[in-house]
């Protein structure tokens, strides 16, 4: 008998009979009936499908959903309903999840550093053929664990200089230009299709970032002097938050198309993108309850160790509204509040400001929007605050496009 046992990071969000997807209530109705004492994730599958449908229709290539952003099966099914047929996976667990849900999906293993076991499992069990890499060591590992297969897609991730994105991703992955040239030359004889990828950073608000990255990729490809079948422009496609109005998706895609055309690659070269936030952010909100008020501070039953990680140190501001099913009605006058989460850690703090009725009080509920991206998937079990529930609702997103 094995002495090892598997432990997940948190208790799964519960879908009980009362909150079954068939009910499809509004958020207000749900709160009035359920009066949830635990965080409640309100999923909007129709909105997620609509966002996916719009992106797929606009992007002139293959759309690979970044599963890390929100791996909930209901979210993945909504994306599939919206036309997404390719998935960017970063672990063996994500690969297995997607393959179990969608046997015919295109799965691309886009983490630049993978375990040997994960590579072998993805290749031999789950039929994955596309792997990203940013070092000679990773290339050797992929070749060894796939037994030097002759049908591999090998994608070299290119390092970018620090850019304007809210979350800079330039410090951990990516080959410098000279190294990328060498990797392309080394991988070319082993690859059925060879590609170059990059990532401009998460929540990037500058459309020109993609064109500049494409130009750098073009210089690397020219220096390598080998044929390329794939250009992967990564993710970073932004969404709206309070006081943040992103550029239209069309403006970003126009820069991508212009940059792609300037590369003058052979006809048939594939263009990929890896959106995450742009497809799912608006599709989930989280209902929390106020447990105490101290001046302008509201103590909530969820926080940075739960669904509100981005509201902590990164200081994302999310749309909020107070829900009070019983009289008296909330004040029309809004005041700025800061939040504290339920754990004993003083770092469980969210500066905001979050504008809510000035009479917000213990027992009130607050709906927090734009949490379909990196909300549920970043929850931890710290202090035992790992319980949450999930329901599907009809409401449009709090920041509707």
Task: Give me the long-range contacts of 259-263 (CB less than 8 A, separation at least 24).
Answer: 259/210, 259/211, 259/213, 259/214, 259/215, 259/218, 260/214, 260/231, 262/214, 262/215, 262/218, 263/214, 263/217, 263/218, 263/221, 263/231
Q: Is the peptide bond before 212 cis (omega within 30 degrees of 0)?
A: no
Would you call 377 a catalytic residue per the annotation? no
Q: What DSSP string describes 69-113?
A: G---HHHHHHHHHTT--EEEE-SHHHHHHHHHH-TT-EEEE--SS
Question: CA-to-CA distance for 206 and 178, rounded, in angstroms?
Answer: 26
Residue 336 in tokens: 């700025």
Task: Give me the long-range contacts of 31-37 (CB less than 8 A, separation at least 24).
Answer: 31/287, 31/323, 31/325, 31/365, 32/325, 35/325, 36/287, 36/289, 36/365, 36/389, 37/289, 37/301
Q: Which of 42, 89, 204, 344 is catalytic?
A: 344
In DSSP terms, which residues pair with 287 in a beta bridge? 40, 367
Catalytic residues: 344
């Amino acid at each position: 008998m094995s002495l090892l046992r598997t432990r997940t990071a948190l208790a799964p969000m519960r879908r009980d009979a009362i909150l079954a997807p068939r009910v499809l209530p509004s958020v207000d109705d749900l709160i009035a009936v359920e009066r949830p004492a635990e965080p409640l994730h309100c999923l909007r599958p129709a909105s997620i499908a609509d966002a996916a449908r719009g992106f797929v229709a606009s992007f002139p290539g293959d759309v690979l959903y970044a599963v890390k952003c929100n791996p909930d099966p209901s979210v993945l099914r909504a994306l599939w309903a919206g036309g997404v047929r390719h998935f960017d996976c970063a672990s063996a667990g994500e690969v297995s999840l997607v393959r179990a849900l969608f046997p015919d999906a295109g799965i691309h293993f886009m983490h630049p550093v993978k375990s040997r076991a994960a590579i072998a499992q993805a290749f031999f069990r789950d039929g994955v053929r596309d792997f990203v890499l940013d070092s000679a060591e990773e290339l050797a590992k992929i070749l060894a664990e796939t037994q030097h297969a002759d049908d591999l897609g090998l994608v070299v991730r290119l390092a970018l200089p620090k850019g304007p994105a809210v979350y800079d991703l330039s410090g951990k992955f990516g080959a410098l230009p000279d190294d990328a040239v060498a990797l392309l030359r080394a991988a070319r004889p082993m690859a059925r299709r060879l590609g170059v990828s990059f990532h401009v950073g998460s929540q990037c608000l500058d459309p020109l970032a993609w064109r500049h990255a494409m130009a750098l990729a073009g210089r690397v490809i020219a220096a390598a002097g080998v044929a390329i079948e794939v250009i992967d422009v990564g993710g970073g496609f932004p969404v709206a938050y309070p006081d943040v109005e992103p550029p239209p998706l069309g403006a970003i895609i126009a820069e991508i198309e212009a940059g792609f055309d300037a590369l003058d690659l052979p006809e048939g070269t594939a263009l990929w993108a890896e959106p995450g936030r742009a497809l799912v952010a608006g599709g989930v909100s989280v209902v929390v309850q106020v447990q105490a008020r101290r001046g302008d501070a509201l103590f909530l039953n969820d926080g940075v160790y739960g669904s509100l990680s981005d509201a902590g140190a990164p200081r994302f501001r999310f749309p909020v509204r107070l829900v009070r099913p019983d009289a008296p009605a909330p004040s029309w006058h809004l005041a700025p509040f800061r939040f504290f989460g339920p754990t004993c850690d003083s770092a469980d703090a969210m500066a905001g400001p979050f504008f809510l009725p000035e009479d917000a009080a213990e027992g009130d509920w607050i709906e927090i929007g734009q949490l379909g991206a990196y909300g549920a998937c970043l929850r931890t079990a710290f202090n035992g605050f790992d319980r949450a529930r999930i329901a599907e609702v009809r409401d449009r997103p709090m920041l509707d496009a």
